[in-house]
Amino acid sequence: MNHQSASFNGVVYWLQAKGIKVLLSIGGPTGGYWLSSAEDAKDVANYLFINFLSGEFGPLGSVMLDGVDFHVETSEDYWDDLARELDLLRQTTGRYFYLSAAPQCPTDPIPYLGKAIATNLFDYIFVQFYDNPSCSYTDGTSALLESWDKWVDSVASNNSLFVGVPAAPSAGDGYIPPEVLNDEVLPHAKEASNYGGVMLWDRYRDVQNGYSDSIMSNVIKSKLKVSVVSVSDAIYRGVSKALRRLLVY
């Protein structure tokens, strides 16, 4: 095992020991990736399982990540096949892992991930309510809340929905001031039975802006008050330290 793999393993184990789920995000906004067929999707599913989800030695060392996140911003073709193949693996191998998706907020149609989300196989859906004026926060919350309601109606009841927002003005168009999220968005969002919480992009800007500190007490659906800021900060410091170790090799 090389130094990079060892450092990454240490971060993953540390996070998982604290009950934090670590998922592998595939895709991204830059393009240059695709699936060419259903058979290709099956091959990719097997590769992901063996190298990142099974505990066997792979590109990141002998890690056993907790799932796969679909952050797809290219063609819609065959991502639904990949979701089905991954679901088959988690149902037949005795190793359950999570599937999540991070779609953009439009719903008519859902960009890129519409077919995949229609499989109803995703445990978590982190909807990006930013960078799309038609369903982001602009002059008010009406467009965002209308889009949220459409998402609630369009996904399976067992798919936990998250409100995805920028953690700072520099993180994406449609930044929502935390007091607006607290007072206008979250009370409405939490009425949904499949409300899961808030997704922030990204943690680096969150630390700079203190966004999660401003919303944390309002995110959970129950009235129980919990303090997780210290854990969140510890995670950020631990990951940052590990990444700095990676960069020196």
CATH code, 110 = 3.20.20.80
**Which domain covers residue 44, as residue numbers?**
21-224
- Positive or negative: CA dihedral 218, 222, 224, 226: negative
The pLDDT confidence band at residue 244, using thresholds 50, 70 and 90, is very low
For 145, the token pair is: 């809340």
pLDDT at residue 31, as a whole number? 82
Label residue 227 exposed, middle or buried (CB < 10 Å: 0-12, 13-18, 19+).
exposed
By annotation, the residues acting in catalysis are: 73
Residue 241, in any domain of the structure: no
Among candidate residues 75, 90, 74, 132, the one with its CA nearest the CA of residue 107: 132
Q: List phi, psi (to 5°) of 124.
A: -130, 140
Among candidate residues 73, 95, 83, 76, the one with its CA nearest the CA of residue 45: 83
Residue 85, in any domain of the structure: yes
Residue 239 has pLDDT above 80, yes or no: no
Q: Report the alpha-carbon distance of residue 72 to residue 23 in Å, rounded.
A: 15
Residue 3, in any domain of the structure: no
For 238, the token pair is: 């631990």
Arithmetic mean of pLDDT, 57-80: 93
- Give this prediction's pTM: 0.86
Arithmetic mean of pLDDT, 211-240: 61
pLDDT at residue 172, as a whole number? 95
Q: What angle is formed at CA 132 by the lines to CA 30 and CA 140, rounded to 5 degrees? A: 150
Residue 156, in any domain of the structure: yes
Per the structure, the count of domains in the chain is 1
Arithmetic mean of pLDDT, 172-176: 97
Residue 96, in any domain of the structure: yes
Q: Report the alpha-carbon distance of residue 66 to residue 26 in Å, rounded.
A: 14
For 5, the token pair is: 């793999």
Residue 11, in any domain of the structure: no
Residue 239, in any domain of the structure: no
Residue 35, in any domain of the structure: yes
